[in-house]
Amino acid sequence: MNRKFVRTVVLLFLGVLLAAVPALGGCGGDGEEGKTEIVYGFLWDLTGRAALGVVQMYNGLQDYLTVMEEEDPIPGVTIKVATYDTKSDASRVPGGYVWLKGKGAVMMSAAPMDTELLASNAAEDQIPFFQGSNQLTTINTDWIYSLYGAPESQIEVEMQWIMDTWDAYPTRPKIGFVGLAGVPFYEAQRMQVENTISENPDKFEYVGAQMAPTTTTTWGVEAMKLESCDYIFAGMSGPPLAGFVRDARARGYDRELIGPSESFWAFWELVKNASRAEDLDGVISASFYPLWDEDVPFIEEVKSYFDEFLSPSDIESELLGTGRITGWGTGMILYDTVRRAVEAVGAENVDGPAMRDALIATDMDSGGWGNQWKLIEGVNAFARNVRLFEYDGTEDEWLPVIDEWMTPPSLAGSGG
């Protein structure tokens, strides 16, 4: 195994343990003297396979809240992020929800598959969820909201792009899928690929899906079974994704690897550390958010924070992921939501319904994302437009494949 890859994973786990344990022990309380504490519950995988992206997201959220509480505080209020580590274990999710509810959380964040599991609890307890991503199964579910849309929607755009650009018809492109078995977030992506193929039988040839156990560490068998594919969709994250890319390329697969941002961009540091640059050439990823090298206000603001507070080595690591982007964007909407909820009902009266009312009324300039952050009927996600990029291994940069923002059909809303 690549030694740099191993070192990255080990350092990640050590960093999480140092950062997350104090947070677990310090949740709740009365807040600063004379201030009302508004609690946001963070129910996420802090030490499991998705930890790299999740910890970056958590840090981005805390970065934004810290800046705003110093520069533009909400009078009489402090926002507390209470954390609970699910450790990539679905059995910990219900207990974590109850624990955070007991800490007084009036809004929570969790992985999309976990919010789907907790949807009825959220509705019964009237505690809204607001997190980075979503699933199409909950994109129009009351009490569940997200910064951006679902990975399935990104796959919609990618499948359409393949149909539009494949130049060998009537020979159809061969499509395969690789993911982790039994994980709803990844199974939903597989189903999106398969549904698109079934709806367009004259446009695709389906080689099949290789769904491996979550404990899989070597991917030679899966790579071999998909070796005839023109495109392999990767529906997984963290070390499993990096391991598959490494093993597929090592066994000679030289065609297209493709997936949503939750696969490739969110864990690009792990993928790069596990493979040679030339082996990553041609990887295709979709995204709801702007790239790190774009000259837009949102990115400039996050980078300005980096320059002031992060070391050069930490900045280099953050720019190989997207968690800080998601966290900062989540923080923007969360902070604005708390401010308006306090203005509407008073700090001491802020509860789940007040937070939900304020959240769904959000109307913000996104500073360079694909659309204004404002909900539309039928879609409980703020960022709904997607672009498509391809990695150039020679130049070590992502180049636009579709540079115009596109709205996937699943995110067009009831009037779309």
Q: pLDDT-based confidence at 414, cuts 50/70/90?
A: confident
- Structural domain containing residue 341: 3-149+295-383
Chain-centroid distance, C-alpha 369: 15
In-domain check, residue 78: yes
Report pLDDT for 30.
Answer: 54
Torsion angle of alpha carbons 114, 118, 123, 126, nearest 10°?
-80
Question: Which tokens hold the place of 268?
Answer: 């690009």
Q: Note whether 19 and 127 are same-domain residues.
A: yes
Q: Which of helix, strand or coil describes residue 293?
A: coil
Asked whether residue 259 is domain-assigned, the answer is: yes
d(CA 290, CA 374): 17
Q: Identify the sign of the CA torsion 41, 42, 44, 46.
A: negative
Mark whether 159 and 31 lie in a shared domain.
no
At 23, is the pLDDT very low, low, confident or very high (cuts 50, 70, 90)?
very low
Q: Report the alpha-carbon distance of residue 51 to residue 57 in Å, rounded.
A: 10
Give the C-alpha separation, 338 to 36, whole Å.
Answer: 12
373 falls within a domain: yes
Label residue 314 left, alpha or beta by phi (over 0 means left) and psi (-120 to 50 means alpha).
alpha
Compute the mean pLDDT over every residue in the chain, rounded to the nearest whole number: 92
Distance (Å, whole) CA 232 – CA 174: 9
Residues 118 and 253 in one domain: no
Report CA 204 to chain centroid distance, whole Å.
28
In this structure, are 26 and 138 located in the same domain? yes
Residue 72, C-beta contacts closer than 8 angstroms, at least 6 positions apart? none
416 found inside a domain? no
What digits encode the pLDDT tens for the residues 185-204?
A: 999 999 999 999 999 999 99
Q: Where residue 34 falls among pLDDT bands split at 50, 70, 90?
A: confident
Indicate whether 7 and 116 sit together in one domain: yes
Closest residue by Cα to residue 238 from 266, 212, 258 = 266
Query: Which pLDDT does position 7 carry in this prediction?
Result: 35
- 289 contacts: CB under 8 Å, gap ≥ 6: 148, 261, 322, 325, 326, 329, 369, 383
Residue range 64-115, pLDDT digits in tens: 999 999 999 999 999 999 999 999 999 999 999 999 999 999 999 999 999 9
**What is the reported pTM?**
0.91
Residue 246 forms part of a structural domain:
yes
Q: Does 343 have pLDDT greater than 50?
A: yes
Query: What's the CATH number where 218 sits?
Result: 3.40.50.2300
Same domain as 144, residue 91: yes
pLDDT score, position 42: 98
Q: Domain tally for the chain?
A: 2
Identity (one letter) of the amino acid at 52?
A: L
Residue 96, in any domain of the structure: yes
Name residue, tokens 């009489």: 76
Do 264 and 364 fall within a single domain? no
Q: Is the model more confident about 17 or about 166? A: 166
Q: What percent of the chain has pLDDT over 70?
A: 92
Task: Report the C-alpha gap between 45 and 234 in whole angstroms.
Answer: 20
Query: 155-191: per-residue pLDDT in tens?
Result: 999 999 999 999 999 999 999 999 999 999 999 999 9
- Specify whether 302 is located in the same domain as 237: no
Do 202 and 142 belong together in one domain?
Answer: no
198 and 236 within one domain: yes
Tell me the C-alpha distance between 391 and 386, whole Å: 17
Contacts of 12 (CB under 8 A, 6+ apart): 51, 52, 55
Do 328 and 281 belong to one domain?
Answer: no
- Please check whether residues 266 and 395 belong to one and the same domain: yes
> Does residue 370 contact residue 384 with C-beta atoms inside 8 Å?
yes
